[in-house]
Structure 1
Amino acid sequence: MLATISQVCSLNSPFAKDLEDYAAGHCGSVEIWLTKFETWLEQHSLDEFRRLRNKLELQTPVASFQGGLLASQGERRQEAWQLLDRRLQLCQQAEIGTIVVACDVPRQGFDQQMLERVLVSLQDLGQRCGNHGVRAAIEFQSSAAFGNNVKTLAMLLADLNLPSLGICLDAFHYHTSSSKPADLTSLTSENLFHVQLCDIADLPRELASDSQRILPGEGDIDLVPLLDRLRAIHYTGCVSLEVLNPQLWLIPPLQMGEIGITCLRRLLGQASM
């Protein structure tokens, strides 16, 4: 398993400083935050990015995230898919193999027609990703009307049988959804594309929000079954730290990188580097 840190852990820090400080903090793998990357590219080139990544000896195997694809309609849908096409091309050119896509199906107005639109969207997503040589890791959302837990999403993707589509397992959404430890048997080395870890402390799961995420292993989420399943299927992909906590954003990226990667390696049973 590849211990990775997401740039969203230092959301207020400039793009290049994240990479430089994470590398200085002995993080060898970074999950790119697409909006930060796109902003940086307004004044820099992809060649500069490649040179910086090579200089820092970093891997950037995953980028997050794309929303608004599956159930949207009209102008909003057109904008979301146009953005996806640009991002798939960007990932292809930047040699980023996986993009995280939110399964953000709204509860309001959910009906059979919307479900059919979601299925068509997933098929379209799989085809576009395949054309660019990029995988889409679908992140189930605990607040979504459909595909809001690991078992349902695994069954859905199995039915679609598109090799470019897989699962993003986010510990926050696993904890706050209807997912149970037994559902983790739905995860295989073939369908699990990405893992994001965090924790939540002293809160009923119904009241937990993204902004209350803390470092994994310091709260109430039972990560043991999840980590056991990763080992059982011999998962070799990224296990990424993802905390969207404004209080943690105050920590400089160098310290966040050092703290975060140490936390991840301890959980994964990997020796310090």
Structure 2
Amino acid sequence: HPACRVFRPVNRKLEAYATKLQPQVLVLTKRSGGPVESSKSSPMKAAISQVCSLNSAFEKDIEDYAAGQCTAVELWLTKLEGYVEASGIERTLQLLETNHVQAAAASFQGGLLTSQGDARQAAWELFDRRLALCRDLKIETLVIACDALGPLTQQDVERLQISLREAATLAGQRGVRLALEFIAAAALGNNLQTAVALVADTASPHLGICLDAFHYHVGPSKPEDLQLLTSENLFHVQLCDLADTPRELANGANRILPGDGDIALAPIVDRLREIQYDGYVSVELMNPRIWQIPARQFGEIALTALRKVLGQASM
């Protein structure tokens, strides 16, 4: 469908950059999933994921986001690992501290749950290194993907449950929390209800939920699933939006800023407020056209959009 390939800017500032990227640009209109009005102060902490500026260098991300008044960043692990390898732990800590930036979380680790053989060994060795990295950099939360792709056997299901328990135990030993992100395309753990059940079955204080609005919207999750979220089991939140894209065809490249598309974000934010969620809520976009926008300009716009959705900024 042609509309699925159209990039829709979120306001005049972003439109100026988007116009340079693609000649045919349509102006996005406000939709039902827009800003949440609230007179109550919100304990939620706004953040931006580094994946929004994937083409930018790690150091420049931090400096530019900080210059745009963003004080919390969800670190993208491959970018982080490259910078640490070249510059070391101490310099990385200094970079964050100098720019007054908190690490909201680190994303993401995959391949842990149902992989086998050499692939499983490689994934778990990488996971162990990343837990150590999070510990050394004082990153409290590591997002792990529930990437159990089908078809699955009963043995696979049992392996997934055992893997979650083992992962949570290792994370606890390193002083790190794991946020399980349900994936819409997964054979098991493709919705919020099942993800909550998996976390509850593990019964570990070191394992909780990562709620990604994209997977919530395009997958089989239901609005009533939001009632399963509590201040104890919700560890991290990622928001975005989609416009004029059938859910069956949506992918990461279709993500736009929260509040400017079709996703019903208001019920999500309402639930966060009900449970007095005081963790991080980050903007997460994997849009290649967004990647071409300078990090500082994008960061300012993204943070404003996010705060409007969270009810932390006026229209």
Question: Into which bin does the TM-score normalised by the smaller protein fall?
Answer: over 0.9
What is the identity, as a one-letter code, of the residue corresponding to 1:27?
C
Post-superposition shift, 1:271? 3.7
Post-superposition shift, 1:157? 1.2
Q: Corresponding residue for 2:74?
A: 31
Question: Which of 64, 68, 88 is the equivalent residue of 1:21?
Answer: 64
Question: Which of 105, 116, 127 is the equivalent residue of 1:84?
Answer: 127
Question: Which of 201, 214, 226 is the equivalent residue of 1:172?
Answer: 214
Q: Corresponding residue for 2:174?
A: 132
The answer on 1:151 being equivalent to 2:193 is yes
Tell me the distance in 2 between the aligned counterparts of 1:155 and 1:123.
13
Tell me the distance in 2 between the aligned counterparts of 1:267 and 1:218.
10
Tell me the distance in 2 between the aligned counterparts of 1:53 and 1:248.
23
Q: Corresponding residue for 1:102?
A: 145
Post-superposition shift, 1:61? 2.8
What is the identity, as a one-letter code, of the residue corresponding to 1:35?
T
Q: Corresponding residue for 1:224?
A: 266
- SS of the residue corresponding to residue 263 of structure 2 reads coil
Of 16-25 and 159-168, the range deviating more from structure 2 = 159-168
What is the identity, as a one-letter code, of the residue corresponding to 2:109?
Q
Post-superposition shift, 1:229? 0.3
Post-superposition shift, 1:144? 0.3
The answer on 1:236 being equivalent to 2:281 is no
Deviations 1:74-99 (A, max 9, x none): 00000000000000000000000000
Post-superposition shift, 1:155? 1.5
Q: Corresponding residue for 2:297?
A: 255
Q: Is the 8 A contact 1:135 1:164 kept in 2?
A: yes
Q: Corresponding residue for 1:208?
A: 250
What is the identity, as a one-letter code, of the residue corresponding to 2:121?
Q
Tell me the distance in 2 between the aligned counterparts of 1:46 and 1:30.
17
Post-superposition shift, 1:39? 0.7
- SS of the residue corresponding to residue 256 of structure 2 reads coil
Unaligned runs of 5+ in 1: none
Post-superposition shift, 1:52? 1.2
What is the identity, as a one-letter code, of the residue corresponding to 1:12?
N
What is the identity, as a one-letter code, of the residue corresponding to 1:243?
L
Question: Which of 23, 40, 50 is the equivalent residue of 2:93?
Answer: 50
- Structure with the bigger RCO (C-alpha within 8 Å, sep 6+) is 2
Unaligned runs of 5+ in 2: 1-43
Question: Which of 110, 114, 119 is the equivalent residue of 2:156?
Answer: 114
Any residues of structure 2 matched to 1:173-188 within 5 Å, and which?
Answer: 173-188=215-230
- SS of the residue corresponding to residue 59 of structure 2 reads helix
Q: Is the 8 A contact 1:7 1:31 kept in 2?
A: yes
Tell me the distance in 1 between the aligned counterparts of 2:58 and 2:283.
17
Tell me the distance in 2 between the aligned counterparts of 1:16 and 1:116.
41
Q: Corresponding residue for 2:14?
A: none
Deviations 1:31-69 (A, max 9, x none): 000100111112101111111111111111310000000
- SS of the residue corresponding to residue 168 of structure 1 reads strand
What is the identity, as a one-letter code, of the residue corresponding to 2:194?
T
Post-superposition shift, 1:178? 0.8
Tell me the distance in 1 between the aligned counterparts of 2:61 and 2:245.
30
Q: Is the 8 A contact 1:142 1:176 kept in 2?
A: yes
Deviations 1:205-261 (A, max 9, x none): 111111110101111101011010000000000000000000111110001110111
Q: Is the 8 A contact 1:214 1:245 kept in 2?
A: yes
What is the identity, as a one-letter code, of the residue corresponding to 1:224?
A
Q: Is the 8 A contact 2:192 2:216 kept in 1?
A: yes
Aligned residue-pair number: 271
The answer on 1:190 being equivalent to 2:232 is yes
- SS of the residue corresponding to residue 159 of structure 2 reads helix
What is the identity, as a one-letter code, of the residue corresponding to 2:80?
F
